Structure formats: C-alpha cells, structure tokens
C-alpha cells in the first residue's frame, strides 16, 4: 500500500510504504540517516497549519503519561511567538524503557517529529532532553543530530541536553525549569509551558514517542494512523511489559488491545498473577481477577481505576509479595519528592512509613485509617502531580492487596519468593542532585 506524502510538489518524495498493521515505530531498524531515509523517505515539508490539522484528524494523544491531545498543544504553542520545542526523552519512570529503546533504535524518527513540530510552531529553538546517565541514549542522539546537521535537514539546530536522573526531571515544568536555570524541579502552573516556558517563550514539550508518531503521520496521513485502534482512541503505542512474563520488553500494540493479549505477546505469564500495575509508578494496580476484558485504552482502564500513563505494564506474580513491592516503590516515590511542597514532602514520607509498617505486619487498624486520611489530604495539593500519582498507586495497592495486608497483620505472607520485581534505582544512581 503506497502512502500519500503531505507535499505532492516535493519531487524527492518518492514513495514509501506505509506500515500495514504492526509494527509501526518498532519497524525501524535504521539508526543511520541514510537507512532512515531509505526506509521512511525524506522529511516531509508542509505549510505549518497542514501538519497540525493532520495530527488533529489523527487524534494523536501524548505518550508521556498525560494523554493530552497533541494537536491542542501544537496549536497553543503555534499561537505564540519565538517558540521552543523540546523532545522529552527523560523517562524517569524506572519501569519504562520504551523511550530509551526508541531513541537508540530510531533516533531519526524522533528527530523528524521534532523538526516537524518545530516547523509547525515556527520554533526558534529545538532541544532533545534525556537522562545524562544514559550514555547509550546520549551517544545515539549525538550521532544522529550531527548527521542531520551535516546535511542541513533540521529547520532549527537541535541541542542535546542531559538531565539529572530524577523521577521528576521529565515532568513538563521541571524540564522547562532545568532548561532555564539548571534545577530539575517542578514549578507552579499556571502559566503552563505552552504559554510561558523556556526563557518565557511558548514551549512545546512532547514525549519522544509522540514525536515519532508525528513523523509517521506526516508521511502516511491521519487516515492511515486510524487504521489501528478505535474511533475514540486511534493508533498504536509502545508498552513496556515486565514482571512475571516470559519475555519482558517493549511491545507495540494498537489501542484497545486486551491487556491479556499484550501479556501473551510478551511470552505469556508462566505463573498465576495477583495483579498488574498499569501506567507507571504514578498509575494503578489492577487485580488479576478483574483483568479479563480490560483493554489498553483510557476508557476501559478507567472502569478499573487505572489509566494508560506512559505504557508501563508490570505483571505481579502471586508468588511475589505485592504489598512489599508496593511499599518499596512508595518509599522511592517519597524520596523522589522535589521537596518543595509541604503536603508532598511530609505526606509522602508518612504514607511511605505507614506502607512499610503494613508490609512488615507491624501495624494496626489505625494505620490503614491513617493511610486513607493522609492520601485524601495530600492529593491535589502539590505544585505538580507527583503526590497525586503516588496516592493513586498507594490507594490501588491498598485495595488490590487488602487480603495480603490482613495476612501480614497475622504474621503471614502469601509470597513464596523474595524477588524484587519493581525496579527502583539505587540512591547512588540518583546522586541526590537536582541540577
């Protein structure tokens, strides 16, 4: 099936084959610029408004965790002057590896998306951000950027920036703050970055996967994009599947695929599960018993109290103590607070201590009551959504692992192994710095 490019007047367009079905993003095997152009064709150029309309028609939503409509963001930034575009490849979420994979395997697809976005909003600056400790990603990006610079492909020179390895460093306002003055801590919104971001300019912060999707939409069109997924949730996305699956890794699936189908694609679950964590550490636990019929789409996930987030799916085997894992991650989330807002700093610390007590069985009825009270008190009261995410994680854990809590109170535990399933970066890696 041949695709229509957006600019029929471009004689170098040639014809590139639009992917049929899956994979789309993971079809890419081209890290070198020439291979990339051979596979996808050159960077399409079109009038600014055309791309945004196409992205709007495609119904693309952000893949960084908030699922915000991409066209809306593009339009808001395009309305401003001297815009800045930022490719967010920070991926502070420990259980997610999709962005790193995309950046090492298909950096040109991401950079194409960045260039297209830059053209659409008439940006004066383009930045790619990723964690500075990820040497492989930084190298891949540096190579790709210099290849493109040599050919003069990008409308705006692209600057590579390494951010500190903190959970919140990739949060939109934190990233902007880092670019402005070197501190990767969230700031108050309003104003949102699309109004006033880097150096006060309208700033588009877009997850790298979203940008890669834009690069494909620009070449193959909105209609093509909608051949997968549903009417209300079109397209496909990358999911990082890990935990009790035979072959953990990054998988690409159409929206509304059943979660169980995704787990099967990842080699299936050799042992029975107690629950699945969906979205990320700011996401929610879904009990295994409720997993039937749950689909990878926000509409379906909402029914079980979850959301797509950044596409993390962790299968928790029944042989591992989900409660202990949840407590470990809660402690990590408390430590990753930027320390700026009282309710987050104190509240998450108290919640983490209480979760510890639950996991150790050193608690009473008072503890669960306090957890309910505290989670109610801290949600929505920070400058960013970190406490909200942590609360969602904790509350869903309390619900899904309620039986486990009761057992621990009696000194028992249903787990038969002590594997640490949920990755938590060591403090050494985090280096305690926000700059």
Partner 1 sequence: MHLRLDPITCDGHGVCAELFPERIELDDWGYPIVDASPIPERMLADARRAVFACPVLALKLVEEELAVTARPTGSRR
Structure tokens at 275: 């629950």
Rounded CA-CA distance 148/106 in Å is 13
Rounded CA-CA distance 279/313 in Å is 6
Q: For 331-399, give the DSSP string.
A: HHHHHT--S-SHHHHHHHHHHHHHHHHHHHT---HHHHHHHHHHHHHHTT-SSSSHHHHHHHHHHHHHH
- In the complex, what is the shortest distance from the CB of residue 188 to partner 1, in angstroms, rounded to a whole number? 6
Nearer to partner 1, 240 or 337 (CB): 337
- In the complex, what is the shortest distance from the CB of residue 370 to partner 1, in angstroms, rounded to a whole number? 9
Q: What share of the chain is helix, strand, coil (3-state, %, to 5)?
A: 45, 15, 40
Residue found by looking up tokens 């009473």 in the block = 364
- In the complex, what is the shortest distance from the CB of residue 349 to partner 1, in angstroms, rounded to a whole number? 9
Residues in the interface with partner 1 (CB under 8 A) total 23
Nearer to partner 1, 381 or 435 (CB): 381
205 scored as a contact of partner 1 (CB under 8 A):
no
190 scored as a contact of partner 1 (CB under 8 A):
yes
- In the complex, what is the shortest distance from the CB of residue 73 to partner 1, in angstroms, rounded to a whole number? 14
- In the complex, what is the shortest distance from the CB of residue 359 to partner 1, in angstroms, rounded to a whole number? 22
Query: What is the separation of C-alpha 387 from the centre of its chain, rounded to a whole number of angstroms?
Result: 17
Q: What are phi and psi of 141, to 5 degrees?
A: -70, -45
Pick the piece of the chain touching partner 1 (CB under 8 A) from 20-28, 60-68, 182-190, 424-432.
182-190
Site string for partner 1, 362-401 (x = CB under 8 A): ----------xxxxxxxxxxxx------------------
Nearer to partner 1, 46 or 375 (CB): 375
Rounded CA-CA distance 198/164 in Å is 18
Rounded to the nearest 10 degrees, what angle do helices 208-225 and 33-40 cross at? 20
Nearer to partner 1, 181 or 416 (CB): 181
Strand, helix or coil for residue 312: strand
Structure tokens at 10: 């471009």
Nearer to partner 1, 297 or 347 (CB): 347
Binding-site member from 70, 187, 206, 367 for partner 1 (CB under 8 A): 187
Binding-site member from 17, 232, 342, 433 for partner 1 (CB under 8 A): 342
Nearer to partner 1, 21 or 190 (CB): 190
343 scored as a contact of partner 1 (CB under 8 A):
yes
Pick the piece of the chain touching partner 1 (CB under 8 A) from 229-237, 247-255, 261-269, 341-349.
341-349
Q: For 208-275, give the DSSP string.
A: HHHHHHHHHHHHHHHHHHTTSB-SSSBSEEEEEEEESSSS-EEEEEETT-BHHHHHHHTT--SS-EEE
Pick the piece of the chain touching partner 1 (CB under 8 A) from 22-30, 183-191, 289-297, 322-330.
183-191
Rounded CA-CA distance 311/177 in Å is 25
Rounded CA-CA distance 282/50 in Å is 35
- In the complex, what is the shortest distance from the CB of residue 346 to partner 1, in angstroms, rounded to a whole number? 4
Binders of partner 1 in range 344-363 (CB under 8 A): 344, 346-347, 350
- In the complex, what is the shortest distance from the CB of residue 16 to partner 1, in angstroms, rounded to a whole number? 40
Residue found by looking up tokens 């152009």 in the block = 37
Nearer to partner 1, 65 or 243 (CB): 65
Nearer to partner 1, 162 or 382 (CB): 382
161 scored as a contact of partner 1 (CB under 8 A):
no
Nearer to partner 1, 52 or 378 (CB): 378
Binding-site member from 17, 181, 188, 418 for partner 1 (CB under 8 A): 188
Closest CA to 119 of 147, 73, 156: 156
Nearer to partner 1, 257 or 375 (CB): 375
Residues that bind partner 1 (CB under 8 A): 187-188, 190, 340-344, 346-347, 350, 372-383
């Amino acid at each position: 099936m041949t695709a229509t490019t957006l600019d029929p007047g471009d004689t170098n367009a040639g014809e590139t084959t639009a992917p049929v079905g899956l994979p789309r993003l993971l079809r890419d095997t081209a890290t070198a610029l020439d291979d990339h152009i051979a596979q996808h064709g050159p960077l399409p150029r079109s009038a600014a408004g055309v791309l945004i309309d196409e992205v709007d028609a495609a119904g693309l939503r952000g893949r960084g965790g908030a699922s915000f409509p991409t066209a809306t963001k593009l339009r808001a930034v395009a309305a401003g002057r001297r815009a800045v575009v930022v490719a967010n490849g920070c991926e502070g979420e420990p259980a997610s590896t999709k962005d790193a994979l995309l950046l090492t395997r298909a950096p040109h697809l991401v950079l194409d998306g960045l260039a297209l976005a830059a053209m659409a909003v008439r940006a004066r600056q383009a930045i790619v951000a990723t964690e500075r400790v990820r040497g492989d990603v930084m190298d891949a990006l540096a190579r790709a950027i210099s290849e493109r610079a040599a050919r003069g492909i990008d409308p705006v020179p692209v600057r590579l920036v390494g951010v500190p390895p903190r959970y919140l460093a990739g949060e939109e306002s934190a990233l902007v703050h880092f670019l402005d003055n070197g501190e990767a801590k969230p700031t108050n919104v309003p104003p949102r970055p699309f109004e006033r971001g880097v150096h006060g300019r309208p700033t588009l912060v877009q997850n790298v996967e979203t940008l890669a999707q834009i690069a494909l939409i620009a070449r193959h069109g909105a209609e093509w994009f909608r051949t997968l997924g549903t009417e209300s949730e079109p397209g496909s996305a990358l999911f990082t599947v890990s935990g009790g699956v035979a072959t953990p890794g990054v998988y690409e699936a159409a929206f509304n695929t059943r979660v169980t189908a995704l787990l099967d694609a990842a080699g299936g679950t050799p042992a029975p599960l107690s629950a699945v964590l969906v979205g990320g550490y700011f996401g929610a636990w879904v009990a295994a018993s409720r997993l039937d019929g749950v689909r990878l789409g926000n509409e379906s996930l909402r029914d079980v109290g979850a959301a797509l987030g950044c596409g993390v799916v962790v299968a928790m085997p029944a042989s591992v103590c989900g409660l202990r894992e949840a407590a470990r991650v809660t402690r990590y989330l408390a430590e990753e607070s930027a320390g700026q807002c009282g309710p987050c700093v104190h509240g998450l610390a108290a919640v983490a201590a209480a979760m510890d007590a639950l996991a150790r069985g050193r608690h009473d009825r008072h503890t669960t009551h306090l957890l309910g009270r505290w989670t109610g008190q801290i949600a929505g009261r920070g400058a960013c959504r970190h406490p909200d995410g942590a609360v969602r994680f904790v509350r869903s854990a309390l619900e899904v692992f309620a039986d486990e809590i009761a057992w621990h109170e009696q000194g028992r535990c249903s787990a038969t192994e002590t594997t640490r399933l949920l990755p938590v970066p060591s403090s050494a890696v985090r280096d305690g710095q926000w700059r």
